[in-house]
Amino acid sequence: MHDIIRQWDNSAAVYTEEQEKSKFVGSNKAVIEARFKHLNGERVLDLGCGYGWYTDYFAYIGADAIGVDGSEKMVAIARERYPDLKFSIADIERPLPFADSSFDIVFSNQVLMDIENADFVISECERVLGKSGVFYFGIVHPCFYDGKWLTDENGYRYSKAVGRYLSRYRLTNEFWGATVHFHRPLSFYLNAAAKCGFTLKEVCEPVTYDGVTQNNDLPLFFFAEFVKK
């Protein structure tokens, strides 16, 4: 995990800059804003908070929010951008530095697919949630993320070729510097949550691509909401 954290330290500045410009990130934010519109003091853990945008959003809509990330550089950016909010540095593949039932919502956006021991992380989310608490995560859609676009004679990206889906493997992204990504089928995430006793409430596979240059019938993201029994 330390090597992965070092990668994100090295990529933190470029990642933040690129995320703020990305139309795909905008579509991701729209999903979260549609789901979480108003809160009333709920304790929210933004797990893998990065540069802190979602921590700030939850605070803005009324939550008592804290952001946690393993990357010191990411947390430094978050603290600089949002000096009035609470951020903490913690290796999230280790036991979280919070007591049982500390939160009403655990939110983890575009994090679990870049974590090696994601099943342990999910179990920790269950531990720190109170009864009837919400566990909400978003990941890139493993059915299509590592597929290669197929293009027609007009340059329209109409489909994706997928050679591996059920296998678990790791790859390296190079979008903002080298960062490790762990491919797992959706069944891994759903089963890991079920084994922790979570009840699935809803999943979302939103339209992301524009339908003009890329086929918008293929999702880029997958979101799932669970409730602790």
pLDDT in tens, the chain (229 residues): 678 899 999 999 999 999 888 889 999 999 999 999 999 999 999 999 999 999 999 999 999 999 999 999 999 999 999 999 999 999 999 999 999 999 999 999 999 999 999 999 999 999 999 999 999 999 999 999 999 999 999 999 999 999 999 999 999 999 899 999 999 999 999 999 999 999 999 999 999 999 999 999 999 999 999 999 8
Locate all alpha helices (DSSP H) within the chain, ordered by sequence: 2-21, 23-35, 53-60, 72-81, 118-128, 186-195
pTM of the entire predicted model: 0.95
CA distance 150 to 25: 23
Instruction: State the total domains in the chain.
Output: 1
* 59's tokens: 């605070």
Residue 10 structural domain? 2-228
CA distance 57 to 46: 10
Selection from 63, 119, 121, 59 nearest residue 90 by Cα: 121
User: What size, in residues, is the chain?
Assistant: 229
The structure tokens 């990941």 sit at 139
Q: What is the CATH number of the domain that holds 180?
A: 3.40.50.150
What pairs with residue 4 in β-bridges?
Answer: none
Q: Are strands 103-109 and 157-161 parallel, antiparallel or unpaired?
A: unpaired
Do the beta carbons of residue 222 and residue 139 sit within 8 Å? yes
